[in-house]
Amino acid sequence: MSQLILASSSIYRQQLLHKLRLDFSCMSPNIDEAALPFETAPELVLRLAEQKARAVAQHYPNGLIIGSDQVCVNQGTILGKPGTLANAKAQLLAASGQTLTFYTGLAVYDAANDDMRSLVEPFSVVFRTLSEAQVERYLAQEPALDCAGAFKCEGLGISLFERMDGRDPNCLVGLPLIALIELLSEFDIQVP
C-alpha cells in the first residue's frame, strides 16, 4: 500500500481521518485558495481539493494523497472563517432562519500513477430563528472563529439548528468520511 498523506494542516480533518484507523501523515499544501472569477462554490472546492493533493504529491511521489476543501454558502455568498467575534456574530445573525449549504471538495490522488479521483459532497443546515442574545450566548461559550459559518456542529453549535440534510455530517467538519471510504476503495484500501 502507498503511503497515505492528508494534504492539510487542519486539526479537525486530522481528527476525522483518525476515526478510520488508518496510518497517515500530514503536510500543509500551501496553495493560493482564492476563488477564480465566476467560479461557483462547487467548482472552487473541487479545484482546491485537487490542487492540494497535487501540491503535496510533489513531496510524496509514491504517496496516496487526500485533498479536501470546504466552503459555506448563505444565500449565494461564500462565507469565510470569521476570524473575529464581530464577524462571527454577523455570520450567525445572517444565518438565522436560513439554509446554509456546505460544499466539500474531496480528492484522492495516486501520485505514482497520476490517477485522481474527486467529488463534491454537499450538506445543508437549516438554522433556527436566532435572537441576538442567543448568538451572543453561543459565541461566549464556543467562539468558532476558525470555522466557516462561525459554529462547531460537533459542539454547542448543534443548538443553533432546526435540521441537517445530507448523507455525512462529517462534511460540516471538513472531511466527508463516507465519500472518502468510497474513493479509497477504488485504490484498494478497505475500511474497515
146 catalytically annotated: no
Number of other CB atoms surrounding residue 83 within 10 Å: 11
Grouping H, G, I as helix, E, B as strand and the rest as coil, residue 189 is coil
85: which strand partners? none
Grouping H, G, I as helix, E, B as strand and the rest as coil, residue 46 is helix
Number of other CB atoms surrounding residue 81 within 10 Å: 16
Q: Which among 69, 110, 114, 165 is annotated as catalytic? A: 69
Phi, psi of 10 (to 5 degrees): -70, 120
Active site (catalytic) residues: 69
